[in-house]
Chains A and B, each alone.
Chain A
Amino acid sequence: MEQQRSVSGSSQSPRSPSSQPFLSVSVTDPVKLGNGVQAYISYRVITKTNLPEYQGPEKIVIRRYSDFVWLRDRLFEKYKGVFIPPLPEKSAVEKFRFSAEFIELRRQGLDIFINRIASHNELQQSDDLRTFLQADEETMERLRSQDTGIFKKRPADFLQIIKDVQTKMSDVVLGKEKPVEESNAEYEKLKHYIFELENHVAEAQKHAYRLVKRHREYGQSLSELGKSFKLLGACESNDVGKAFCDLGAKSEAISIKLQKEAQHLLMNFEEPLKDYVRAVQSIKATIAERANAFKQHCELAETIRLKEIALDKLMLTRSERVGEAEHEYKEASQPILSLKAASEEATTRYETIVRRMNEEMVRFQDEKTNDIGIAFHEFAKGQARLANAFADAWRSLLPKLDACSLDTS
């Protein structure tokens, strides 16, 4: 089931005549390419828009998973503070990698991902998004391999920062340490909320996954029971035998419905919960970024402060040779100026993150309430549908069974 969200920038109206700006993307048609170890899946990405920045009303490109990763990473770098939409899982158990189920889940996840970006006020304006949606395949490949290069340069740093912040985060949450951290009660509360939320949602998702399995097992057992009842019915040659056969056939029919429901449950209930977990994890990455930005801002401010003190000292203990002192002074104050520029930049970066995060939290809560609401609706609908199918199927057997019992008395 594809989701085609029609996006119209920041306006609220849905798809309307061409006067309203819109940008709509869909990810379709997964195709396996390549051989052996290097085999991969490619997707068609279809963009429909009337925005002037784009080359025309419709564009189709071919993209693979690592292209999406490139886009995500670029956006993460450039839009710090925004909760970048999460991607479906990177790795998968080898043999599962090309199963129809996995591919469909991934396609769905990628479609949701790109649409969330396209409907986000800031992100939809990104150059990288435009590149992603329009560049030809060779360009994309070049960019992709370039960036893994850049990325490889700093992963250690990046991950290390995250790890540091993570431990600091947990420590702070546990009240162990108070290093270079914002002492903002509201923010503390938020961080605590995010960390706890992840655990709770992950648990729910775990049980949702198990429930899918249970449906499959239930279906399997009903199918087997049905078969054995049919065999048993064949043994008996009278009405009872027929009853067994009918029941067996119904049992097998119902089991098919169970398998279908299991699939529906996986795509429309478990996957959204997983997506929820990933979204929370994305927020954690942003929290790490904010901590990093804060640290830089503080450190720079501190450095400047120390340097200014040193400068003042210099002023007070200036030497007799005024010319020399002036020269020293000029030399000392030069780096301070560039430091001050850097500090301002760091402060701006930090404040941007803070501002964005506040907006993002509101958006996040709204989005999640909607997403989960849909998931719940689908879940309930599916379960009701299944139960009704059960009831109908079994009920249809009753008249015959009643007729039987009148005969044998």
Chain B
Amino acid sequence: MMGSENQSFQEAHLYASKEDMENLVLDDSLNGNKSYSNYRSALSSISDSHHPLSAPVVVTSVDSDPLLAPPSYRDFQNPGPAIASAAPDNSYLDPPSYADVIFSPFDGNNFNDANGVDSPSKRSDNSGSFSRSSSSNSEYIKITVSNPQKEQETSNSLVPGGNTYVTYLISTRTNLPDFGGSEFSVRRRFRDVVTLSDRLAESYRGFFVPPRPDKSVVESQVMQKQEFVEQRRVALEKYLRRLAEHPVIKKSDELKVFLQVQGKLPLPTTTDVASRMLDGAVKLPKQLFTESAVAPHEVVQPAKGGRDLLRLFKELKQSMANDWGASKPPLVEEDKEFMEKKEKMHDLEQQLSLASQQAESLVKAQQDMGETLGELGLAFIKLTKFETEEAVSNAQKVRAADMKGLATAAVKASRFYRELNAQTVKHLDTLHEYLGLMLAVNSAFSDRSSALLTVQTLLSELESLQSRTEKLEVASSKIFGGDRSRIRKLEELKETIRVTEDAKHVAIREYERIKENNKCELERFDKERDSDFLNMLKGFVLNQVGYAEKIANVWAKVAEDTSGYARESC
């Protein structure tokens, strides 16, 4: 039709003034394009320095946002910048008060509801119904990661001045007696975090050790990118805080040392694969040609690639025999309850993954709604302005007034959607967190199965050693006086059996220990999960209700104002 030709060349002209229109009504914080990722980084960068912790809380929430702190009611009056922003006094828009959202529909529920919208990682709340904290009521440990800085690798750089890396300032505030002090800071690089994580994995087999952030292989250029460094900082902070929340790990030496000791991290680094391979290659011939048993002290760790080639081989053989062999392995996982639990965890992981994805879609859909509503509002504001300027008839003036009403409502609603979304992100984040935790669960389970495998292998080995001994004894008994070499062989065997028996005892002890850890952790996990999910659901629902009511009010007013046009029919 005729119009289309005009439209395209006029459009460019229109959009040039869009920016002006955006600034006409709304202040900066409402400006259209705050993307989802901005929200997330905005959330985590909200300064938590003005959130004083009060007694009953074990640990601070990951994203401590003053809005969510039940004790400091006054914080409700000063919301954080990215969330419920105080709009400049503007005839179009009321400054929304987050308090209104929560408080108005629920008279008399006050703080309970405020707790309901707490950050998901806040484990124990001071309202009675949610409390999960046990004995450690007055302890706290608060970790902050900040101030990334570039530093040079001082020695051994093949490329002069080439090797740079980033360090972060890790600051801790605590009143735990185990730490010799209440406030301290150290500088650590990511490699140190990997070390910490590896050492913890070794020392705390069977526990649900929170997984560390990914080691992405990056080029130095990417490393220097602001965004990447910031993302990593956030991830590190989350990780360390989770470690500090774990009832057992927060007291670990490894963590203490990581948080406190200045200078180089005094934990054994994870040796690289090459040197392990070398070690293993050196040991292997000796292991093959002599009767060497697994030393008892080695048994408490799983067979590592490279170093314990022979042991790896034996365990691999054993696991094949378990799967394909004719006879039952010497010891099996009998705990039916555990097997069921394991199944459940697997199920849970799958469903969490799906739910986590859908949560992301929901957030995007809510964001889009808000955006489009805002754009619609702007378009009508432009129309209103236009009609007002060009008004020749009264009908135009009336229409312009109607449009203004609608536009205002649309802009308000758009803003509510954005606020709703920011909160939704925080609540549904619990899903993502638990999905991450499933990694920890899985690795705890695999600690258990590898310990079991070690035991099984040793048992099989003992069996075969026994039978060899028997055969040798039978053979040598036939020769009167004995065979010197056979006797020597027998003694060697007996010695090997003894060592292996010791190793077996240690391995069994280790296996039992891990089983116990699994059990405790599963109980803890179940309880905490229930509580966290309930909080999440409640917070999510409350949030939806609050904003739905606000949005309904906005539109009800417009419907009221335009009710004169209502048709009689239909």
Contacts and interface: CB of A to CB of B under 8 A. Distances in A.
Interface string A280-297: 110011001000000000
B567 A374 contact: yes
B3 A281 contact: yes
A314 interface: no
Nearest to B562: A377
Interface string A209-235: 011001101101110110111011011
A401 B386 contact: no
A402 B366 CA distance: 26
B565 A377 contact: yes
A3 to B, nearest CB: 7
Interface string B330-359: 000000000000001001100110110111
A207 interface: yes
Nearest to A215: B369
Interface in A269-326: 277-278, 280-281, 284-285, 288
10 contacts: A170-B6, A199-B11, A204-B380, A210-B372, A215-B369, A225-B358, A225-B361, A373-B399, A387-B548, A394-B544
Contacts of B105: 395
B563 A377 contact: yes
Contacts of A334: none
B379 A204 contact: yes
B393 A362 contact: yes
A405 B545 CA distance: 19
Contacts of B386: 196-197, 200
Contact of B361 (A206, A221, A284, A372): A221
A215 B567 CA distance: 25
Nearest to A363: B395
B564 interface: yes
B351 A405 contact: no
Given A368-B399, A405-B534, A207 B375 contact: yes
Given A4-B569, A224-B358, A199 B369 contact: no
B390 interface: yes
A365 B395 contact: yes
Contacts of A217: 365, 368
Given A166-B2, A368-B395, A388-B552, A231 B368 contact: no
Contacts of A201: 383
Nearest to A204: B379
Given A228-B355, A243-B534, A394-B544, A193 B390 contact: yes
B395 A198 contact: no
B20 interface: no
Contacts, number: 237
Contacts of A4: 569
A169 B365 CA distance: 43
Contacts of A208: 376
B546 to A, nearest CB: 9
A3 B568 CA distance: 10
A225 to B, nearest CB: 4
| B105, B379, B403, B570 — most chain A CB neighbours (10 Å) | B379
A390 B555 CA distance: 14
A199 B6 contact: yes
B10 A199 contact: yes
A409 interface: yes
Nearest to B564: A373
A380 B402 contact: no
Contacts of A332: none
Given A204-B376, A232-B351, A221 B7 contact: no
A278 B395 CA distance: 19
Given A166-B5, A240-B537, A243-B537, 15 more contacts: A193-B390, A200-B14, A211-B372, A211-B376, A228-B358, A280-B3, A365-B395, A376-B402, A376-B406, A379-B406, A384-B555, A384-B556, A387-B552, A390-B548, A391-B552
Contacts of B267: none
Contacts of B364: 221
A97 to B, nearest CB: 18
A350 interface: no
A263 interface: no
A238 interface: yes
A247 interface: yes
B313 to A, nearest CB: 39
Interface string B147-179: 000000000000000000000000000000000
B372 A228 contact: no
Given A391-B549, A401-B537, A409-B129, A214 B6 contact: no
B231 interface: no
Contacts of B10: 195, 199
Contact of A3 (B132, B565, B569): B569
Contacts of A370: 565
A397 interface: yes
Nearest to B128: A409
Interface string A251-280: 000000000000000000000000001101
A244 interface: yes
A92 interface: no
A200 B382 contact: yes
B531 A381 contact: no
Given A221-B362, A377-B562, A409-B130, A199 B396 contact: no
A404 interface: yes
B362 A225 contact: yes
B542 A398 contact: yes
Nearest to A198: B3
A377 B399 CA distance: 12
B558 interface: yes
Given A4-B569, A211-B372, A231 B351 contact: yes
A224 B357 CA distance: 10
B382 to A, nearest CB: 6
B362 A222 contact: yes
Nearest to A373: B565
Given A198-B7, A200-B379, A374 B565 contact: yes
A124 B403 CA distance: 32
The 4 closest A-B pairs by CB, nearest first: A387-B552, A373-B565, A380-B558, A391-B548
Interface string B387-429: 0001011011011001101100100010000000000000000
Nearest to B1: A281
A409 B395 contact: no
A408 B530 contact: yes
Contacts of A247: 537, 540-541
Contacts of A231: 351, 354-355
A197 B544 CA distance: 38
Given A387-B549, A394-B545, A395-B545, A380 B555 contact: yes
A155 to B, nearest CB: 14
B538 interface: yes
Contacts of B405: 376
B248 interface: no
Nearest to B527: A408
B53 to A, nearest CB: 22
A373 B560 CA distance: 12
A387 B555 contact: yes
Contact of A394 (B11, B383, B541, B570): B541
Interface string B2-21: 11011100110010000000
A39 interface: no
Given A244-B533, A387-B549, A377 B366 contact: no
B559 A384 contact: yes
A206 B379 CA distance: 9
A406 interface: yes
Interface in A1-32: 1-4
Contacts of A244: 533, 537
Nearest to A225: B358
B399 A369 contact: yes
B294 to A, nearest CB: 40
B562 A203 contact: no
Contacts of B541: 247, 394, 397-398, 401
B376 A284 contact: no
B347 A277 contact: no
